[in-house]
Chains A and B, each alone.
Chain A
């Protein structure tokens, strides 16, 4: 699998390239806005990692290195387009307008997903690998039945392509022409397992076997990701069915804060990918073409610090859940057995309080 097949619009050195198939109509102001997105996402992701190290979070899954894949695809969505993330799509959440502190709730142990997905058309994080690709496909089947102009994007990783659910989602989406974009971030590693242990062919080529197009894009090139995702979404909206996008990128951090990549991969690999950093190339482009000055970059840095600082105080100040929450949301309709269990436990807890009062 040659990297030469990558769709690329912005080279790692920050040169604007022309891809004949994916022409991007984008203003300088929009590129500056994408740069801001990338910096904000990296900054709050770094802050969340620090919060975990300081004991404020039980776990964190870093998006470090995947900002362009997430921001580029997230910014391709229009209002009403629904995104189904894994547990690492912090950049997509940002693009969709989900407040960053909401993403940390589950990692702090406050909840299993602390935002209302309907507010931003951004589903809860899904931890069982690949399960959400079927939800995305079903949601897209609903859009079809509603005759709506929206589309769905399903996020998953390279490891997930080995899961049955992902392959079933490909099948369902294909036979029903469902308006869904399968966005695979191939970050080269599924915890300790390299991509070679998941597949013998380039992942984007899998789509051909299911009867829809697949494309490999430079996942560290925010402009190329934006262009490719927009095209796939347009195809979905036109009723032409799904597309598989393989965003070729790299997990620069660990799988999660519980992981130790030094046990299974070489530092040299990370050094090579640092040269393809998704943020540096945009900065380089803006600088070399005099499209942004030091003042602009300093302003972004300052804002990023403020975002990080707010994230820190928001999550540390976040209220712990109330005990009854264990019982309150299990069912939508009344459930006498849970009601009885809940009141028995609350009475039990209160029995201690009464004892203390005496």
Chain B
């Protein structure tokens, strides 16, 4: 059994071993091993030229990573916390995302940006945000998130192998979740949605930190005689919705669960697409459960903000009431 955080570390180590062009860079990623220890012991193994402790400037991390990528390197940047990515926003959205298009395909930027995201760890301000929509809304980026150690291990390697920039969201409150990792072969590609467990009455879609919540919700529903199909999106851009449509057509009821604010969140896009593709199969409108449209609250209030088991069950009840 390996923790999710350790699985990312193992994925990084394997990528660093297999390709000398892979670099890791960020604040405190070297000697400290990152504030979550995700890059632990990498610097002692691969050296300071490849595991780069950077000055404390996020735009600088991304901007120099772009330059390194132009030179043929494959940098993996760590942004220490979700709320600290904004100083690098121009470098990510205007520079990193657009370089391939504006160079008419001549310049590839295989840069991975790791962002520990989401709440639930009792943190101070700017340390608990779910800001994936900004990046999923930006053409030129790929956006993925893992929910379990096996995916964390493989998706990190797949993201590094991608010739496009990948924003890799890591569910920080699940860093310590343990599960088996199969080091032989990945079970899915980077941009594939996983059906976590099958069901017939309702489709519950989630990703990242709330996948575990969704699994717990399905277990409660099962006791109540409701068969819930749980889906883990894994890829937020591009979305892989074909299996979602198939599921929605089977169950007729869909609830989407994520931590990010619901207004213009991924759930809104997915609900819209399900409506377009599965209109005649739906028995209820697609419902969303997510964060409120407020700044992330202080830690002592976060249990109210975070969509939990009860709020999800409530939405499921409403879906069945139609």
Binding site for B on A (CB under 8 A): 111-114, 116-118, 123-124, 126, 128, 131, 133-143, 145-146, 164-165, 168-169, 171-172, 175, 325, 328-333, 335-338
Interface-facing stretch out of B27-35, B68-76, B291-299, B302-310: B68-76
Which listed residue (B69, B91, B98, B103) contacts A117, Cβ 8 A?
A: B103
CA distance A139 to B64 in the complex (A): 7
A230 to chain B: closest CB distance in Å?
A: 23
CA distance A142 to B22 in the complex (A): 12
Contact B162 A333 (CB under 8 A): yes
Q: Which residue of B lies closest to A146 (CB)?
A: B71
Binding site for A on B (CB under 8 A): 49, 54-55, 57, 59-60, 62-73, 87, 90-91, 94-95, 98-108, 139-140, 142, 162-164, 238-240
Which chain B residues border A330 with CB–CB below 8 Å?
Answer: 100-101, 139-140
Which chain A residues border B87 with CB–CB below 8 Å?
Answer: 164
Which chain A residues border B102 with CB–CB below 8 Å?
Answer: 111-113, 124
B98 to chain A: closest CB distance in Å?
A: 8
Which chain B residues border A145 with CB–CB below 8 Å?
Answer: 49, 73
Contact B239 A113 (CB under 8 A): no
Which listed residue (B54, B63, B164, B239) contacts A131, Cβ 8 A?
A: B63
Contact B55 A143 (CB under 8 A): no
Contact B239 A172 (CB under 8 A): no
Contact A116 B100 (CB under 8 A): no
B92 to chain A: closest CB distance in Å?
A: 11
Contact B105 A124 (CB under 8 A): no
CA distance A123 to B59 in the complex (A): 19
Which chain A residues border B71 with CB–CB below 8 Å?
Answer: 138-139, 141-143, 146
Candidate in A126, A325, A331, A333 with the most chain B CB atoms within 10 angstroms: A331
Which listed residue (B66, B73, B98) contacts A134, Cβ 8 A?
A: B66
Q: Which residue of B lies closest to A340 (CB)?
A: B238
CA distance A134 to B87 in the complex (A): 13
14 intermolecular pairs with C-beta atoms under 8 Å apart? A113-B104, A124-B107, A131-B63, A134-B59, A138-B63, A138-B65, A168-B55, A168-B57, A329-B101, A331-B100, A332-B108, A333-B163, A336-B238, A338-B238
Closest CB pairs A-B (n = 6)? A138-B67, A134-B63, A142-B71, A138-B64, A168-B60, A112-B102
Contact A142 B63 (CB under 8 A): no
Q: Can you name 10 extra interface pairs (CB under 8 A) apart from A138-B68, A145-B49, A330-B139? A: A113-B102, A113-B103, A114-B104, A134-B91, A135-B63, A136-B67, A138-B66, A164-B57, A172-B64, A336-B240
A interface secondary structure, majority? helix
A178 to chain B: closest CB distance in Å?
A: 9
Q: Which residue of B lies closest to A331 (CB)?
A: B164
Contact A328 B68 (CB under 8 A): no
CA distance A232 to B101 in the complex (A): 33
CA distance A286 to B103 in the complex (A): 41
CA distance A106 to B49 in the complex (A): 37
Contact B54 A135 (CB under 8 A): no
B142 to chain A: closest CB distance in Å?
A: 8
Which chain A residues border B238 with CB–CB below 8 Å?
Answer: 335-338
A145 to chain B: closest CB distance in Å?
A: 6
CA distance A288 to B18 in the complex (A): 64
Contact B57 A331 (CB under 8 A): no
Contact A135 B67 (CB under 8 A): yes
A144 to chain B: closest CB distance in Å?
A: 8
Candidate in B98, B102, B142 with the most chain A CB atoms within 10 angstroms: B102
Given the contacts A131-B91, A337-B239, A140 and B67 also touching, CB distance less than 8 Å: yes
B58 to chain A: closest CB distance in Å?
A: 9
B31 to chain A: closest CB distance in Å?
A: 15
Candidate in B64, B69, B101, B164 with the most chain A CB atoms within 10 angstroms: B64
Given the contacts A329-B105, A331-B164, A168 and B59 also touching, CB distance less than 8 Å: yes
CA distance A168 to B140 in the complex (A): 25
Contact B64 A134 (CB under 8 A): yes
Contact A142 B95 (CB under 8 A): no
Contact B91 A139 (CB under 8 A): no
Which chain A residues border B101 with CB–CB below 8 Å?
Answer: 112, 329-330
Q: Which residue of A lies closest to B190 (CB)?
A: A333
Which chain A residues border B239 with CB–CB below 8 Å?
Answer: 337
Q: Which residue of A lies closest to B97 (CB)?
A: A330
CA distance A116 to B100 in the complex (A): 11
Which chain A residues border B100 with CB–CB below 8 Å?
Answer: 329-332
Q: Which residue of B lies closest to A328 (CB)?
A: B105
B56 to chain A: closest CB distance in Å?
A: 9
Which listed residue (B49, B95, B103, B240) contacts A135, Cβ 8 A?
A: B95
A98 to chain B: closest CB distance in Å?
A: 14
Which chain B residues border A124 with CB–CB below 8 Å?
Answer: 99, 102-103, 107
Contact B94 A128 (CB under 8 A): yes
CA distance A329 to B103 in the complex (A): 8
Which chain A residues border B103 with CB–CB below 8 Å?
Answer: 113, 116-117, 124, 329
Given the contacts A329-B100, A332-B100, A168 and B63 also touching, CB distance less than 8 Å: yes
Q: Which residue of A lies closest to B53 (CB)?
A: A175
Which chain A residues border B139 with CB–CB below 8 Å?
Answer: 330
A4 to chain B: closest CB distance in Å?
A: 35
CA distance A172 to B101 in the complex (A): 27
A89 to chain B: closest CB distance in Å?
A: 16
CA distance A335 to B99 in the complex (A): 16
CA distance A112 to B101 in the complex (A): 8
Contact B140 A331 (CB under 8 A): yes
Q: Which residue of B lies closest to A165 (CB)?
A: B59
CA distance A134 to B94 in the complex (A): 13
Which listed residue (A116, A117, A126, A175) contacts B55, Cβ 8 A?
A: A175
Contact B163 A332 (CB under 8 A): yes
B82 to chain A: closest CB distance in Å?
A: 20
Q: Which residue of B lies closest to A129 (CB)?
A: B90
Which listed residue (B68, B106, B142) contacts A142, Cβ 8 A?
A: B68
Which chain B residues border A113 with CB–CB below 8 Å?
Answer: 102-104
